[in-house]
Amino acid sequence: MRTIIIAALLFLVFHIIRVDLFDGTIPLAAFFGEETPCIEPVINVIQVTTIQGDTIETLLSMYPDVESTFVERLSAFYSLNPYLQNQELKGGLTVKLPITKLAQTVCE
């Protein structure tokens, strides 16, 4: 009988602690400060009209950027032009080129 009562008390204590940890006052304590607003980065872009035979590499080399690497500029290019993910460039197509690297989201 003693074992059942001790087990029930332990279950009750563990249940109260678990509920308090997940839904109670402990998560609302000083662990979380005031949330600061995040400022989304502004991507500087230029629009370029392609000609027959252009590739992404030639476009990025025609407009160089010393602040970022080729891989960073390539990922920025595909984030600006997601429709070009699985196709080649064609003549007369207007694309957006990043001229500075993608900045991190700034939270004050």
Task: Average the pLDDT over 61-65 and give the result.
Answer: 83
In which band, very low, low, confident or very high, does the pLDDT at 10 lie, cut at 50, 70 and 90?
A: very high
From the list 47, 50, 46, the residue with the least C-alpha distance to 88 is: 50
Q: Does pLDDT of 13 surpass 80?
A: yes
Q: Alpha carbon 46 to chain centroid distance?
A: 23
State the pLDDT at residue 65. 78
Whether the CB-CB separation of 101 and 76 falls below 8 Å is answered with yes
In which band, very low, low, confident or very high, does the pLDDT at 50 lie, cut at 50, 70 and 90?
A: very high
Task: Average the pLDDT over 23-37 and give the result.
Answer: 62
Break the chain into its structural domains and give their ranges: 1-33, 38-107
Cβ count within 10 A of residue 97: 20
Burial tier of 10 (Cβ tally within 10 Å: 0-12, 13-18, 19+)? exposed
- Taking the model in full, what pTM does it have? 0.54
From the list 103, 83, 101, the residue with the least C-alpha distance to 93 is: 83
